[in-house]
């Protein structure tokens, strides 16, 4: 089965969805595909059952900020329709030092996935579809693992850049050498995340996030109940980049138990159940020097995502927007 579209976007994270919204509202036919079970990519919320009920836990991005005035109207809309609210103006360090400032930290009302779900509501999105091969056959032809084929005049790639480059290498599309070299320099920190339900509320100080003074082995702990995402007590524990890199391929349960033990003094409650999420690409540490990358031959192909316009949710959204605007201008 071949699905024809004007623009195919690979990746239904925030970059892909913002780009799709912009292109669709300008009148283009847009199709978005994602290998995940749902939309959102690294804006991810999971339900975790415990003997006391079900908890909701944000395990990728924890909150987002707004520094770019171009992002402000988008945020204003999300606040107005009630899918986003302010969480806090900062958090404490593990030694109790307050780190609060003028910058609000925002969250999705039912967890971070609330935002991508809202953006995807009126888009043509295929989830659970992994693109494995990309070719140029007079149009871009993207073949999925399940046999589906997507054919498009233009293409926006928003996976983490090493994954986008693997797709490029899968077929006959060739990038100019300099661009290929620049994209190959982009690197991400991994992040080993533990999601845990608790037998009683955590002892994390309000508003429910803690930055350990030493960011290894743990760089962040969040209380999803205080955050307003979960009815049940539940925490997210993020390991630091060095620890995550050193233990990425170790037995996940052994690593999770080490992190739970290391967090115990701050969390101060019994863990009932836990799950592990390993993010191979969590936050880019080596960025591309422009808001997107693009080639015109053999067809319009753009790269977007958080490695382009800022290594966070806001940057990913701005990159998606910039890529869409560039395509429309062309
Ligand atoms: C642990 C962690 C903590 C973070 N904390 C914060 C934070 O507190 N604040 C903040 O602002 N940011 C944070 N971030 C970063 C933030 O989540 C990202 O910058 C942002 O979500 C990236 O969006 P994106 O659309 O560029 O990429 P992604 O969300 O990664 O979207 C890319 C999509 O492409 C899909 N994909 C990849 N390959 C294929 C394929 N072959 N076929 C089909 N689909 C494919 C993936 O499934 C994915 O959904 C965090 C990230 C992580 C992992």
Same domain, 143 and 193: no
Distance (angstroms) between ligand 1 centre and the Cα of 268 equals 30
SS3 315: helix
Strands annotated E in the chain: 2-10, 30-34, 45-50, 53-58, 84-93, 98-108, 124-127, 131-136, 140-144, 149-157, 187-198, 209-211, 218-223, 234-239, 271-286, 293-295, 300-303
Residue ranges of the alpha helices (H) in the chain? 14-25, 72-81, 114-120, 161-169, 177-184, 241-247, 252-267, 306-309, 313-329
Residue 103 in contact with ligand 1 by CB distance below 6 A: no
Compute the distance between CA of residue 193 and CA of residue 196 in angstroms, rounded to an integer.
Answer: 10
Residue 51 has a pLDDT of: 78
Q: Where are the alpha helices (DSSP H) in 45-200?
A: 72-81, 114-120, 161-169, 177-184
Torsion sign over Cα 32, 36, 39, 42: negative
Ligand 1: nearest atom to the Cα of 132: 41
Which domain, by its residues, includes 212?
A: 44-111+188-285
Instruction: Classify residue 87: in a domain, yes or no.
Output: yes
Same domain, 135 and 170: yes
Q: Is there a single domain that holds both residue 139 and residue 279?
A: no
What pLDDT score does 33 carry?
A: 98
Same domain? 212 vs 274 = yes
State pLDDT tens for residues 260-309: 999 999 999 999 999 999 999 999 999 999 999 999 999 999 999 999 99
Ligand 1 lined by 33 (C-beta under 6 Å): yes
Beta strands 293-295; 271-286: pairing state: unpaired
Clarify whether residues 89 and 195 are in a common domain. yes
pLDDT at 156: 98
192 and 95 both lie in a single domain: yes
Q: What is the 132 CA–ligand 1 centroid distance (Å)?
A: 19
139, 88: one domain: no
CB of 209 sitting under 6 A from ligand 1: no
Which positions ≥6 away from 60 have C-beta within 8 Å?
40, 41, 42, 43, 44, 112, 193, 277, 279, 282
The answer on 280 and 208 residing in a single domain is: yes
Same domain, 157 and 225: no
Nearest Cα residue to atom 15 of ligand 1: 312
Q: What is the pLDDT of residue 148?
A: 97
282 CA distance to ligand 1 middle (Å): 7
**Ligand 1 atom with least separation from CA of 62:** 8
Work out which ligand 1 atom sits closest to the CA atom of 17: 25
Show the low-confidence residues of the chain (pLDDT under 50).
Answer: none
Q: Is 12 in the pocket of ligand 1 (CB under 6 A)?
A: yes
Instruction: Tell me if 120 is assigned to some domain.
Output: no
Ligand 1 atom 44: residue of nearest CA: 34
Q: What is the pLDDT of residue 183?
A: 98
Q: What is the pLDDT of residue 52?
A: 76
CATH number of the structural domain spanning residue 260: 3.90.660.10
Q: Residue 13 sits in a domain of what CATH number? A: 3.50.50.60
Residue nearest atom 34 in ligand 1 by C-alpha distance: 11
Would the CB of 66 count as within 6 Å of ligand 1? Answer: no
The per-residue pLDDT for 53 is: 81
Q: Is the CB of 14 under 6 A from ligand 1?
A: yes
Strands 209-211 and 218-223: antiparallel
27-68 confidence digits (pLDDT tens): 999 999 999 999 999 999 999 987 778 999 999 999 999 999
Asked if residue 251 and residue 143 are part of one domain, the reply reads no
Q: Which atom of ligand 1 is nearest to the CA of 164?
A: 38
The answer, yes or no, to whether any atom of ligand 1 lies below 6 A from the CB of 284, is no
Distance 218 CA to ligand 1 centre (A): 20
Using a 6 Å cutoff on CB, does residue 158 contact ligand 1? yes
């Amino acid at each position: 089965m071949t699905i024809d579209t004007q623009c195919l976007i690979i990746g239904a994270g925030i970059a892909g969805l913002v780009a799709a919204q912009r292109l669709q509202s300008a009148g283009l036919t847009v199709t978005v595909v994602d290998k995940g079970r749902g939309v959102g990519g690294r804006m991810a919320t999971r339900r975790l059952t415990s003997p006391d009920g079900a908890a909701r836990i944000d395990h990728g991005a924890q909150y987002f900020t707004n520094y770019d005035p171009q992002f402000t109207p988008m945020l204003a809309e999300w606040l107005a329709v009630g899918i986003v609210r302010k969480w806090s103006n900062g958090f404490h360090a593990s030694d109790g030092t307050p780190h609060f400032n003028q910058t609000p930290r925002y969250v999705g009302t039912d967890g971070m996935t609330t935002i991508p779900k809202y953006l995807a509501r009126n888009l043509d999105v295929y989830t659970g579809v992994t693109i494995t091969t990309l070719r140029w056959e007079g149009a871009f032809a993207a073949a999925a693992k399940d046999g589906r084929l997507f054919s498009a005049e233009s293409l926006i790639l928003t996976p983490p850049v090493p994954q986008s480059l693997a797709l490029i290498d899968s077929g006959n599309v060739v990038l100019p050498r300099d661009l290929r070299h620049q994209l190959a320099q982009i690197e991400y920190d991994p992040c080993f995340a533990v999601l845990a339900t608790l037998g009683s509320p955590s002892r994390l100080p309000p508003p429910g996030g803690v930055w350990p003074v030493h960011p290894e082995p743990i760089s962040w702990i969040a209380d999803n109940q205080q955050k307003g995402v979960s009815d049940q007590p539940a925490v997210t524990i993020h390991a630091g980049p060095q620890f995550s890199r050193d233990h990425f391929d170790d037995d996940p349960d052994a690593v999770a138990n080490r992190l739970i033990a290391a967090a115990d003094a701050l969390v101060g409650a019994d863990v009932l159940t836990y799950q592990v999420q390993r993010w191979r690409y969590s936050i880019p540490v080596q960025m591309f020097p422009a808001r997107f990358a693009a080639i015109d031959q053999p067809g319009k192909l753009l790269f977007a995502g958080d490695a382009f316009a800022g290594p966070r949710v806001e940057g990913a959204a701005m990159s998606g927007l910039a890529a869409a605007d560039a395509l429309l201008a062309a």
